[in-house]
Amino acid sequence: MPRYNYKCSNCGIETIIVHLIDEQIDFCTSCQKSDTMIKLLTKPTYIKNNNSNNNRVGVLTKEYIEANKELLESEKLKAKSETYDPT
Identify the band that residue 9 occupies on the pLDDT scale cut at 50, 70 and 90: very high
Let me know if residue 87 belongs to a domain. no
In Å, what is the CA distance from 34 to each residue of 5, 13, 16? 17, 14, 17
Expressed as residue numbers, the domain containing 72 is: 47-81
17-71 pLDDT, tens digit per residue, is 999 989 989 999 999 999 999 999 877 767 776 655 556 778 888 888 888 998 8
Q: Where are the alpha helices (DSSP H) in the chain?
A: 51-81
CB-based burial label for 28 (10 Å; 0-12, 13-18, 19+): buried
Rounded Cα–Cα distance for residues 79 and 73 (Å): 10
Whether residues 52 and 30 fall in one domain: no
| Of 86 and 28, more confident | 28
pLDDT for res 13 = 94
Whether residues 7 and 34 fall in one domain: yes
Whether residues 35 and 8 fall in one domain: yes
pLDDT for res 48 = 72
pLDDT for res 52 = 56
Domain count, the chain: 2
pLDDT for res 38 = 94
